[in-house]
Amino acid sequence: MAYGPFLLVTVMYWMTGMDADFVRYLRFAGIYLSYDIACLGLGQFVSSLSGNPMIGMTILPAFVAPMIMFSGVLYQKSTVPSWLGWMHHVSLVNYSFSALMAEQIHILPDNQADILAAFIDLNENSAGINVVYLWVMTGALMILTFLALSLRLRNVTAS
């Protein structure tokens, strides 16, 4: 499960002109692989909600679209109404994007980096904590998957 994403991030990293420091590359790859594993956890959870794969594929966008919309990539987080402000805290995209940007924003010219950091409300020292949040969310999704499958199994055996 990690070979494909690792190959993808390796090619993408060096082709796009990111920082040529090998340690930064390893951090970038680690963040990307953490995001990939979190997305696998989300997919497992959504698929555990239904016994039919087509239904699982139908409801997955209902989970993914809000994660993308409330990640802060498309708009400033400060412009979100307060009653929807909590949504970026449950977005896998938010944590991975913030961590990746914190790792690579230094390659932009100062004026562009400042504008971008202000737009996405970026803390340049937040990469580590964002990866921790990704792993916490992965663990929570795995637990939810287990609970959903246990409940489905209990309902099937009770019938």
Mean pLDDT in runs of 10 for the chain (159 residues)?
83 89 92 93 92 86 89 79 84 91 87 84 85 96 95 83
Task: Tell me the C-alpha distance between 97 and 104, whole Å.
Answer: 11
Task: Tell me the C-alpha distance between 90 and 134, whole Å.
Answer: 10
Q: How many CA atoms lie within 13 A of 94 on its CB side?
A: 23
Encoded tokens for 119: 């737009």
Axis crossing angle, helix 92-104 with helix 22-48, rounded to the nearest 10: 180
Task: Tell me the C-alpha distance between 26 and 31, whole Å.
Answer: 9
pTM of the full predicted structure?
0.87
Radius of gyration of the chain (CA): 18
